Every structure is written in C-alpha cells, then in structure tokens.
Amino acid sequence: MTLTTHDPIAFIPTKNAEAARAFYEKTLGLTFESDDNFALVFRVGTSNMMLRIIRADGFTPQPFGIFGWESPNVEADVKALTAKGIEFLRFGYFEQDTLGIWTAPNGNKVAWFKDPDGNTLSLSSH
C-alpha cells in the first residue's frame, strides 16, 4: 500500500463553528459542503481537497502556520483579503514589505494571517 495516490484531508480546529463557517465561507470564499456535527466540511483548491474545520473546545492555537494556500499572485491575494478586513501578521525577526509579505532569499513569498480562533494561516508562492 502507498498513500501517494490517496487524496489528503486537512484539519483546522475551532471553538466557534459559527464564526469559523462565516470566515472560511464568506471571507475566504471557500466552498462549504456540509456540517456533520463534528466538523464543517469545505472543498479547497483545484483538486477539491477536503478541509475539515473540526469542533475542538480544548485547544490552544499554535504560534506557527497550520494551513496555507499556494498563490499565483500573493500581492493580489493579500490586497483582496485586506479589503475584506483581514489583517496580515508582522514579525520582528525578518523584513516584510508594506503588505506584510516576506520574500525569502530564494524568492519564495509568504504572508500570514489568523482565523477567528487564532490559527495561523498563510498565502505563499514557491
């Protein structure tokens, strides 16, 4: 058996499913599929990968990114999300541009933001 042919499923925890659904569906524009009482189910990307926003009362958001999107134009996506009220994170240990985008030495670009539960999400180009 090999998992290379199996589709991945991503999980993001939430303490407030109502706020999470509004954020992921309305603000980020993800396609809502269902609510099975354990998780909100969305479809993401060209592969329609399953993203489950799981109900988890007892979690602490981590200080690092837990989910992200590969973007063909990070600058345009950051501007569009900023217009929807998303604030991009700034870190003191590397230089980011006026939009909050960090360009790595190899040219990769990353911008980070948080969901309503404080989970760190990102947009990046590689």
pLDDT computed for residue 92 by the predictor: 87
Burial class (CB within 10 angstroms; exposed 0-12, middle 13-18, buried 19+) of 122: buried
Given a cut of 80, is residue 19 above it in pLDDT?
A: yes
pLDDT computed for residue 40 by the predictor: 98
* Boundaries of every domain in the chain: 1-57, 64-126
User: Residues 35-88: pLDDT tens digits?
Assistant: 999 999 999 999 999 999 999 988 999 989 999 999 999 999 999 999 999 999
* Whole-structure pTM value: 0.94
Given a cut of 90, is residue 103 above it in pLDDT?
A: yes
pLDDT computed for residue 79 by the predictor: 98
**pLDDT-derived band of residue 28, with 50, 70 and 90 as boundaries?**
very high
Identical fold between 1-57 and 64-126: yes
Look up the CATH number of domain 1-57.
Answer: 3.10.180.10
* Domain 64-126 listed as CATH 3.10.180.10: yes
Given a cut of 90, is residue 27 above it in pLDDT?
A: yes
pLDDT computed for residue 43 by the predictor: 96
Given a cut of 90, is residue 1 above it in pLDDT?
A: no
The three-state (H, E, C) secondary structure of the chain, written as one string: CCHHHCCCEEEEEECCHHHHHHHHHHHCCCEEEEECCCEEEEEECCCCEEEEEEECCCCCCCCCEEEEEECCCHHHHHHHHHHCCCCECCCCCCCECCCCCEECCCCCEEEEEECCCCCEEEEEEC
